[in-house]
Amino acid sequence: MILPFFVIIPLGTAFLISLLGKKIRNSGDILANLSGLSLLTLSLYSIPKVFVHKTLVYKIGGWLPPIGICMVLDGLTSFMLVTVNLVSSLVAVYSISYMEKYTDKNRFYTLFMLMLAGMNGIIVTGDLFNLFVFLEIASIASYALVAFGTEAEELEASFKYAVMGSVASSFVLLGIALLYSYTSTLNMADIALSLSAKPAGMIIGFVAVLFLAGFGLKSALVPFHAWLPDAHPSAPASISAMLSGVLIKVLGVYALMRIFFNVLGINSGILLVFMFLGAVSMLVGVFLAIGQWDFKRLLAYHSISQIGYVILGIGLGTPLGILGGLFHLFNHSIFKSLLFLNSGSVAYSIETRDLKAMGGLREKMPVTANTNLVASMSIAGIPPFNGFWSKLLIILACLQANRFGYAFCAIVASILTLASFMKVQKYAFFGTLNEKWRRIKEVPGAMRLSMAALAIICVAAGLLLIPLLRNFMQAAVDVLLVGKGYAQTVFGAIR
Amino acid sequence: MIEYILCLLLFCIGLYCVLRRRNIIKIIVGLGIIEYAVNLFFVLLGYRHYGRAPILAKDQTITNMVDPIPQALVLTSIVIGLAVTALIVAIAIRIYEKYGTFDITKIRRLKG
């Protein structure tokens, strides 16, 4: 059974690195990359497993689920695992060279692996309190990683993030407490089963609001987004890529999807709230992004906007909408981490994030410039890059569901995204080279390798829509569409 | 019933403290109050009148016992809370070294 290894490998690597890091040279690099690679292999291996068995349940310690804790592997789990471990393994490769300019690389890898363990744990667990524990592991590691540079701005951003994040966690814990008092169980499938036997009461509405506030803050939906534009740019670039690329999706969007669709049960009211929040995030994020001159801050505002697309797609509740939302989630994790890695490469060479001070970097840094061009076109939705297909699916799903206003919002946000990335291209990579940067060089090989790999995935990911490969995402969509039937699937898989 | 309402009141006091205080140490204390309110609520959920500890021993029949799961959960939650508090206090100390103040309105170099 492969499921527990998604938590064991990163957790074990974290402790091994902190033990051996000082004694053996380069052990941190080797261990982190080995574990990243093995996690990627395992997550890819989970795809055929899901294809054959549909749902697999691992019982921790052999206790049967309503009493013991269980881990569940189904289509959505496998989809999220592939997304997270693909990005994290490439970011680990990038960090080999990039983290040289910071002093304590081993401590960085330890925190990185702890964050990864938390994220994988959230994805595989089938127990609500266990989800909370992993949520806190990932959050605490990310608070520490945001403050990793220990400069004044980074500490300030980390403090803001930590305070807002712990308030959000308290909301989630309060929601779990209320749900436990109502159903007397913590297993997600068992909660779904016992809720469907009870009449819908006020308490479910209250719990839903608490979860929406808690997980909404973690995923930076618009009324709760204030921490993100400070926290994400302050972290080292490889961590910004992880935070914007996968952390907000796992802690926020995945947890929202799993709990609202499979545990509490979805209804049209909640879907309306999702769609509204998604559309507002989409527009507010992109309007705030367009005036930014700090490269990483601009990207951070775009994360808010793109998460809006994902939530809008999922909130439509139709098969096509959910497919579009999940596909955009995958695509966004690829191109946004690539963009943050590009910004890290630029900062590595010229030590600035101000777009006005750049210019003409294309001739000195061809790999960075070309991969950035690919990622910019993907995020702006130019065919044939992956961002185009997922945005197209979301807009088509809006039209299919007769939500013309939301379709219009999605198109407007897409055009504004294009405008703001044309600004990035013009000021940073095209134009005349600034005299100051006469002597800069392209970044080292490991960084180039991971950026090029991500750019290739950006181009190729559109192929996931062809019928043969589409089963990968269709399995995830089916899990969400089955709704509270999740309980029967899980209990069916135990026997 | 009154205990539950008092618990929620404690939660709101903590939230008010986080939102309205200007001193970052007081904000951290506010976070602690929120956390304890939730923990207290959890323990109250498991409480039964005249219940006893759920320990099974030979030739004893237990008719009324408290629910042990919330107690286990609260222990975990206290440990997590300790970790968060320790991290935030460490960050607050470094902030004081850099800015020379604990006043949140003066700690604002990030804008936009």
- Mutation site for A-interface testing, chosen from B11, B20, B41, B87 by largest number of A Cβ within 10 Å: B87
Instruction: Report residue A291's pLDDT band, with 50, 70 and 90 as the boundaries.
Output: confident
| CB contact (8 A) between residue A230 and residue B83 | no
Q: What is the per-residue pLDDT for A178?
A: 93
Residue of chain A nearest B72, judged by CA positions: A129
Chain B nearest-CA residue for A150: B94
Provide the residue type at A367 as one letter: V
Q: What pLDDT is attached to residue A378?
A: 94
Residue to test with chain A: of B20, B67, B88, most A Cβ within 10 A: B88
Residues 6+ away with beta carbon under 8 Å from A39: A6, A9, A10, A85, A88, A89, A116, A120
The token duo for A95 is 């960090």
Å from A141 to nearest chain B CA? 10
**Alpha carbon of B33: minimum distance to chain A alpha carbons (Å):** 11
What pLDDT score does B68 carry? 87
DSSP A14-75: HHHHHHHTTTSTTHHHHHHHHHHHHHHHHHHHHHHHHHHHS-EEEEGGG--TTTS-EEEE-H
* pLDDT, tens only, A87-109: 999 999 999 999 988 888 999 99
CB A178 within 8 A of CB A206: yes
Average pLDDT, chain A: 92
State how beta strands A70-73 and A56-59 pair.
antiparallel
Q: Where are the domains of chain A?
A: 5-494
- What residues of chain A have any CB closer than 8 angstroms to a CB in chain B? 129, 133, 136, 140, 143-144, 147, 150-153, 155-159, 162-163, 166-167, 169-170, 173-174, 177, 180-181, 186, 229-230, 234, 292, 294, 297
Domain residue spans of chain B: 2-99
Q: What is the pLDDT of residues B41-54, one digit of tens each?
A: 999 988 888 888 88
Cross-chain Cβ contact B35/A166 below 8 Å: yes
- Output the pLDDT for position A357: 84
CA distance A403 to chain B (A): 33
**Averaged pLDDT score across all residues of chain B:** 90
What average pLDDT does range A160-189 have in this prediction?
94
What mean pLDDT do residues B15-44 have? 94
Measured between CB atoms, which of B41, B80, B95 is closest to A136?
B80
Instruction: From chain B, pick out residues whose CB is under 8 angstroms from the CB of A162.
Output: 84, 87-88, 91
Q: Is the pLDDT of residue B61 over 80?
A: no
Helix, strand, or coil (residue A150): coil
Min Cα–Cα distance to chain B from A460, Å = 35
A228 pLDDT above the threshold of 60? yes
Domain B2-99 CATH (choose: 3.30.70.270, 1.10.287.3510, 3.90.1150.10, 1.10.10.350): 1.10.287.3510
Chain A within 8 Å of B98 (Cβ-Cβ)? yes
Omega within 30 of 0 (cis) for the link into A444: no
Determine whether the interchain pair A167/B87 forms a contact, defined as Cβ–Cβ distance below 8 Å: no
Tell me the shortest Cα–Cα distance from A338 to chain B, in angstroms.
Answer: 23
Q: What is the pTM of this model?
A: 0.95
Complex ipTM: 0.94
For residue B38, give the nearest of A144, A147, A170 by CB distance: A170
pLDDT at A297 over 80: yes
A106 is written with which tokens? 């081993």
Q: Which residue has the tokens 């101000």?
A: A354
Distances (CA, A) of A18 to A67, A106, A135: 35, 6, 22
pLDDT higher than threshold 80 for residue B60: no
Beta-carbon count within 10 A of A39 CB: 26
Nearest to A153 by CA among B18, B22, B93, B107: B107
Cβ neighbour number for residue B97 with a 10 Å cutoff: 11
For residue A54, the model assigns a pLDDT of: 87
